[in-house]
A and B are shown apart, each in its own frame.
Chain A
Amino acid sequence: MQDRPRPSAPASARDPLAWGVALLAFAGFVASLILWRSGGGSVDLSWASELDLRLHFSFDGLGALYALMATGIGAAVFAYATAYLPLHLEHQQRPARDRWRFWPWMGLFTLSMVGLATAQDLILLFVMFDLTAVCSYFLIGFDRQERASRLAALMALLVTGIGAVAMLIGAVILYADHGSFSIPELSRTLQESGAASTTTTVATALIAVAALTKSAQVPLHFWLPRAMAAPTPVSAYLHSAAMVAAGVLVIGRVYQLIEVSQVVLDGLLVVGLASIAIGGAISLTRDGFKQVLAYSTISQYGYVVALYGIGGRAGAGAAAFYVVAHALAKSALFLTAGAVTMATGARKLSQVSGLWRELPVLAAASAVAAATLSALPLTIGFFKDELFFHAAAGRSTALGIAAVIAAGLTFAYTWRFWTSLFLGPRRACEKGASQPLDPLPVLLVAPIAVLALLAFLGGLITAPFAELASDAAAATLGHPAEVHVAYHLDTRTENLMALGAWALGALLLATPGLWGGPARALARAGERFGPNRVYEVGLNFLNHLSTAFHDIEVRDLRSRVAAVLVPGGILVALGFIATPTAGAFTVGPISGTDLLVVAMLALVAIAAIVVTSAHEHVAIVLSLAVVGLGLATVYALLGAPDVALVAVLVETVVTLVFLAIVAYAPRGERPTRRELEGAASRPHRRQHESRRWRDPLIGFVAGAAAFLVVWASLSRPAATERVVNEQVRLTPEAHGLDVVTVILADFRGLDTMVEITVIAVAVFGVIALLRRGRTW
Chain B
Amino acid sequence: MSILTETVARLLLAPSIVVAAAILVKGYVDVGDGFSAAVVVTLAIATQYLVLGARRTEEEIPLLRHAPRVAIAGLLIALASGFFPLLFGDPLFSHEPGPGDRVVHVGRLELMTPVLFDVGVFMLVAGALIALIHHLAEPPELEAEADAEAEATR
A contact set with B: CB distance below 8 Å = 47, 641-642, 645-646, 649-650, 652-653, 656-657, 660-661, 663-664, 733-738, 740-742, 744-746, 749-750, 752-753, 756-757, 759-760, 763-764, 766-767, 770-771, 775-776
- Find the residue from B93, B100, B125 having the highest chain A CB count within 10 A: B93
Determine if B103 and A735 form an interchain contact, defined as CB atoms under 8 angstroms apart. yes
Determine if A657 and B28 form an interchain contact, defined as CB atoms under 8 angstroms apart. no
Given contacts A652-B43, A661-B136, are A756 and B125 in contact (CB under 8 A)? yes
Shortest distance in angstroms between A770's beta carbon and chain B's nearest beta carbon? 5
Partner of A646, one of B35, B72, B112: B35
Given contacts A760-B71, A775-B131, are A47 and B27 in contact (CB under 8 A)? no
Determine if A750 and B92 form an interchain contact, defined as CB atoms under 8 angstroms apart. yes
In chain A, what residue has the closest Cβ to B141? A664
Partner of A756, one of B75, B114, B137: B75
Determine if A749 and B100 form an interchain contact, defined as CB atoms under 8 angstroms apart. no
Determine if B93 and A738 form an interchain contact, defined as CB atoms under 8 angstroms apart. no
Contacting residues of chain B (19-53) with chain A, CB-CB under 8 angstroms: 27-36, 39-40, 42-43, 46, 50
Determine if A741 and B118 form an interchain contact, defined as CB atoms under 8 angstroms apart. yes
Contacting residues of chain B (60-89) with chain A, CB-CB under 8 angstroms: 65, 67-68, 71-72, 74-75, 78-79, 82, 86
Shortest distance in angstroms between B91's beta carbon and chain A's nearest beta carbon? 8
Dominant secondary structure of chain A at its interface with chain B: helix
Given contacts A664-B139, A756-B78, are A642 and B32 in contact (CB under 8 A)? yes
Using Cβ atoms and an 8 Å threshold, which residues of chain B touch A763?
71, 128-129, 131-132
Determine if B114 and A745 form an interchain contact, defined as CB atoms under 8 angstroms apart. yes
In chain A, what residue has the closest Cβ to B112? A735
Shortest distance in angstroms between A651's beta carbon and chain B's nearest beta carbon? 10
Q: List 21 A-B contacts (CB under 8 A).
A: A645-B31, A646-B35, A657-B136, A660-B133, A663-B139, A733-B99, A735-B103, A738-B28, A738-B30, A740-B33, A745-B95, A745-B115, A756-B74, A756-B75, A756-B124, A759-B124, A759-B128, A763-B128, A763-B131, A767-B135, A776-B65
Dominant secondary structure of chain B at its interface with chain A: helix
Given contacts A735-B97, A735-B103, A760-B124, are A744 and B31 in contact (CB under 8 A)? no
Task: A645 to B23: give the CA distance in the assembly, Å.
Answer: 11
Shortest distance in angstroms between B131's beta carbon and chain A's nearest beta carbon? 6
- Find the residue from B40, B42, B131 having the highest chain A CB count within 10 A: B131
Using Cβ atoms and an 8 Å threshold, which residues of chain A touch B67?
776
Task: A750 to B136: give the CA distance in the assembly, Å.
Answer: 31
Using Cβ atoms and an 8 Å threshold, which residues of chain B touch A663?
139
Determine if B93 and A653 form an interchain contact, defined as CB atoms under 8 angstroms apart. no
Shortest distance in angstroms between A120's beta carbon and chain B's nearest beta carbon? 20
In chain B, what residue has the closest Cβ to A642? B31
Determine if B93 and A749 form an interchain contact, defined as CB atoms under 8 angstroms apart. yes
Using Cβ atoms and an 8 Å threshold, which residues of chain A touch B136?
657, 660-661, 770
Q: Is the C-beta of B107 less than 8 angstroms from some C-beta in chain A?
A: no
Using Cβ atoms and an 8 Å threshold, which residues of chain A touch B40?
649
Using Cβ atoms and an 8 Å threshold, which residues of chain B touch A736?
28-29, 114
Using Cβ atoms and an 8 Å threshold, which residues of chain B touch A741?
27-28, 32-33, 118
Shortest distance in angstroms between A738's beta carbon and chain B's nearest beta carbon? 6
Shortest distance in angstroms between B1's beta carbon and chain A's nearest beta carbon? 15
Using Cβ atoms and an 8 Å threshold, which residues of chain A touch B103?
735
Using Cβ atoms and an 8 Å threshold, which residues of chain A touch B82?
749-750, 753
In chain A, what residue has the closest Cβ to B69? A775
Determine if A734 and B95 form an interchain contact, defined as CB atoms under 8 angstroms apart. yes
Using Cβ atoms and an 8 Å threshold, which residues of chain B touch A641?
31
Task: A642 to B29: give the CA distance in the assembly, Å.
Answer: 12
Given contacts A757-B75, A775-B131, are A738 and B124 in contact (CB under 8 A)? no
Shortest distance in angstroms between A645's beta carbon and chain B's nearest beta carbon? 5
Given contacts A47-B86, A741-B32, are A746 and B95 in contact (CB under 8 A)? yes
In chain A, what residue has the closest Cβ to B32? A645
Task: A770 to B86: give the CA distance in the assembly, Å.
Answer: 38
Determine if B75 and A749 form an interchain contact, defined as CB atoms under 8 angstroms apart. no
Q: Which 7 A-B pairs have the closest CB atoms?
A: A749-B93, A649-B39, A763-B128, A775-B68, A745-B114, A733-B99, A737-B29
Task: A112 to B115: give the CA distance in the assembly, Å.
Answer: 38
Shortest distance in angstroms between A563's beta carbon and chain B's nearest beta carbon? 25
